[in-house]
Structure 1
């Protein structure tokens, strides 16, 4: 099979397309013939770190068709369409290949009529967004129509992949969604994703604009850049609100004023999928599968998430595009459907 591999850390030129044996599934595992692979920032970030394995095939996200099952597998069969969850976490071989073997805990059914593009696009972004939206004291543990009715969510950076997923999933679940963006183009994308109020933070007073959209404040903030935005988050969050932090764009550190924070009974919830407990990951997988089945999560420019396709052989260029801040979702085309 064709696979992208690297055996040393470095720039994208360490990636190479090579031939490797097709793996066989073991007990509790399935083999997936991949159609699409999703590319995430963690792919290039992991690539520049010291390796934990002699050779790595990148790729946490992907979608395809099961073509072989191992012993003790009863929930899946050859021919099932599936999407994958954290396929390369603690493993050397991810989804930038024609085949991948995964334990069934990392495999979810891809509903009929849902494209492989969507299956490869959800993974890390949508599961991260789900976690960010389900940690509020008065919010739901599961997402779905009506589960966030009455809540107001501020999504910082609503045109990014996680931001787009947070906007779509919160809107699907009935929340009022306010989001910030940095350009007119991103404003159009955030509106297409379904945000009720879109604020260009480069124009005017952002706090006043958020207050105008949410006079009583926001219940939950989905935060991509805490070092830049903490003062704004504190100013607009309701008493008892939650600030969910999933990235550190714009700085590595920030200070928190203690009195202002604890008199508001605020919760800071940090989150990363790679150490998330299995129950929360399972809930997120189930809810995201329901969202894509019912149209609660869509892709494409008309849904605020442009898709950029690269052939498998151009995995280096695909990772470079993500590292340079491509707007939308980058996918590797591995096979025809």
Structure 2
């Protein structure tokens, strides 16, 4: 799969997720064969004001490439200026992606994220100015529409293509749905049939079989995996293998799950410091251990722990529960 001049090894990609797709997690997914990783969404305004936390979000490792950095904002000139600044200062970035799907009220109320779905003309202006300001491909990620009264993914995708976008990611839910209900894969098919640039489908891909079904039913060029990858970086390897061979790899063993958690936690501690990492790992451990025997008790006890060694001890107990 190719996006602009960026060649991907495969078409199975890690979707951008705030609070999830930081550098350590992107590296873990890349190790499992993920074809393209996306950063957490980054505010153009925060880049302009040189926000310290935003600088951490923009750290890239050569081993995770190709990588797309996701920007959000609604001022075309500021977006273009900050996209150029980012690319000039971070040569490892391969793609800039514009978030037009975030449903969070504080983002939407500023006219950003999925709030842009209500302003097709502004979408065109942003895409045109940003794509002309940077030497690398520009992509956008949109939703089915804003609500059931405004289903306009096809219109937005056409506008994006006409103004220089190199690919479009489509989440098959409206903003009003957030992540509830069932993703509408038919809207992904409609977008694919309406434009010539690559379309990446997003929504309700939790298994290798889901991935194959989405590709078959929508004709999309690639898959963006979001919540399905939470606590499950192995999903990329399993999907790629299934698409290539038709065979299902086994699910990770308890030993493999615990070892992945331990690696993830160590990487996060090195990246953000122990205090922050331990607190952020709580949600990851909840995802990694979902469905395991005794996982509810494990989560309760880990949520009370505040140091690396104490959590390591708990994880070793879990590993020995076979």
Report the TM-score when normalising by structure 1. 0.32
Which one has a larger percent strand, Structure 1 or Structure 2?
A: 1
More helix per residue: 1 or 2? 2
* Greater RCO, CA 8 A, separation 6+: 1
Q: TM-score normalised to the size of structure 2?
A: 0.33
